[in-house]
């Protein structure tokens, strides 16, 4: 299984040929390896100078029944399926070469692209994967009825509701998205169209390559296609497939729970654009700061220069001691005014254990960012092992958070940490982090 901590690319080139959905042209698509931090880029090898187009929301130019990217006069249509397959299968960096302006539609699903990726193989690269964590809800409603909300989650999940005209073919599905789940439960879902929409789309010069071999047509309450439905809820699964591909245009992987009601390419790509702005703002909050060496302290203002966290998620009031290069101690004063006490056992208030782990992670991050090579980077919490909660923490307690770096390999670091009250250990954990430059 691929290591999710590191970026991945393709082991070799792999090619897929076929007919495009909207233009109806013959096209050959080749997926190629790319270096770290390259991201996903399309390349039109049929044009002079073989120009590239970034798979990014800033390049979105048209979203009717598909997502189109453009750079000047150079366009690439219907990009969502191939991007969805690459992201869903865990590929971070790749070049998507085409000798026409639209990928082959295949059978209308992402399965052909998944097979192309598997033929190429996937390899880990020597750089940590940059995964943003959604820290506060992001919500957007659209005039056509689409609603997209993304809430904090330690995994990447999508809960989607598909609703057709007059409520037809209403379907709902909620799933975590991993390469295994993507390949087996999402990639095979085919594109679909309601019968009454076919002629208007054809009148606009779209779906020239469409047929019952690469789409499911819904007429009244029946379906028409070359083969039976692959899933009872195939339509909402395809919507999830599209959401994955479109939201990937934000330019970053992220942890969060996407709640999508009647999503479409317009709403998906607009949310991707908003996500990109959100991540850029989050990254801009962290600026290079000189963290003192030797015996030193940091007050809360200096802590906030190092960490991107702010109230109520900042769990460190100050750093009171650095011991050499690998150990430090932080302090958090736990007061009854903490917002979590309103809902966490209000009749018997205790500090949630997960927030103690977050406090340990923040102190350990400061310790790792203190190293010269890491100044100005962002530390992302990757995992917590051997977590133990030994005693409750109450309002009025002063939490001392001790952290010690035990290993740093490239931009991945591991630390042991513990929280103490009155000299007694109340919680402890082994933590792992990824560091990268904003």
Q: What is the spatial distance between Cα 123 and Cα 8, in angstroms, rounded to a whole number?
A: 5
Q: Residue 330 has what DSSP assignment?
A: E
Task: Give dist(CA 153, CA 216) in Å, integer.
Answer: 33
Number of H helices and number of E strands within the chain? 8, 25
- Which residue shows structure tokens 């899933």? 231
Give catalytic status of residue 265 as yes or no.
yes
CA-derived radius of gyration, the chain? 24
- Alpha carbon dihedral 253, 258, 263, 269, in 10-degree steps, equals -30
Given the residues 22, 81, 265, 309, select the one marked as catalytic: 265
d(Cα 339, Cα 311) in Å, to the nearest integer? 10
Residue 348 known to be catalytic: no
H or E element: which one contains 362?
Answer: helix 353-369
C-alpha 269/C-alpha 391 separation (Å) is: 47
364, containing H or E segment: helix 353-369
| C-beta separation of 297 from 320 below 8 A | yes
SS (H, E, C) 382-425: EEEEEEEECCCCCCCCEEEEEEEEEEEECCEEEEEEEEEECCEE
Catalytically annotated residues: 265, 344
């Amino acid at each position: 299984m691929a290591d999710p901590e590191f970026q991945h690319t393709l082991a070799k080139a792999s090619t897929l040929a076929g007919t495009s959905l909207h233009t109806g042209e013959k096209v050959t698509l080749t997926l190629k390896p790319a270096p770290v931090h390259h991201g996903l880029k399309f390349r039109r090898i049929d044009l002079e100078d073989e120009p590239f187009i970034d798979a990014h929301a800033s390049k979105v130019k048209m979203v009717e029944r598909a997502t189109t990217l453009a750079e000047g006069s150079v366009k690439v249509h219907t990009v969502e399926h191939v991007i969805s397959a690459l992201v869903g299968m865990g590929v971070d960096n790749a070049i998507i070469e085409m000798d026409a302006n639209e990928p082959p539609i295949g059978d209308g699903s992402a399965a052909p692209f998944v097979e192309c990726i598997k033929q190429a193989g996937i390899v880990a690269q020597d750089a940590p994967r940059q995964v943003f964590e959604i820290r506060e809800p992001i919500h957007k409603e659209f005039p056509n009825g689409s609603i997209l909300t993304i809430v904090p989650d330690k995994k990447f999940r999508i809960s989607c509701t598909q609703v057709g005209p007059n409520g037809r073919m209403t379907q709902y599905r909620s799933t975590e998205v991993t390469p295994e789940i993507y390949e087996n439960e999402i990639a095979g879902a085919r594109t679909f169209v309601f019968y009454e929409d076919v002629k208007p789309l054809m009148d606009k010069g779209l779906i020239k390559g469409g047929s019952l071999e690469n789409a499911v047509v819904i007429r009244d309450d029946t379906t028409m296609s070359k083969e039976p439905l692959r899933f009872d809820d195939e339509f909402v699964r395809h919507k999830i497939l599209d959401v994955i591909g479109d939201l990937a245009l934000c330019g970053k992987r992220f942890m969060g729970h996407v709640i999508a009601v009647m999503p479409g390419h317009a709403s998906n790509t607009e949310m991707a654009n908003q996500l990109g702005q959100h991540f850029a703002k989050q990254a801009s909050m962290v600026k290079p700061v000189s963290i003192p060496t030797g015996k030193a302290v940091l007050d809360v203002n200096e802590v906030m220069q190092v960490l991107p966290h702010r109230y109520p998620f900042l769990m460190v009031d100050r750093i009171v001691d650095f011991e050499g290069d690998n150990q430090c101690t932080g302090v958090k004063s736990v007061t009854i005014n903490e917002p979590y006490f309103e809902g966490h056992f209000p009749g018997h208030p205790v500090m949630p254990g997960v927030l103690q782990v977050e406090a340990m992670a923040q102190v350990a991050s400061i310790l790792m960012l203190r190293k010269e090579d890491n100044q100005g980077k962002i530390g992302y919490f990757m995992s917590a092992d051997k977590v133990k909660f030994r005693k409750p923490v109450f309002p009025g307690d002063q939490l001392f958070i001790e952290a010690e770096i035990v290993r740093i390999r490239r931009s991945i670091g591991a630390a042991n940490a513990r929280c103490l009250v009155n000299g007694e250990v109340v919680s402890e954990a082994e933590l792992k982090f990824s560091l990268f430059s904003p």
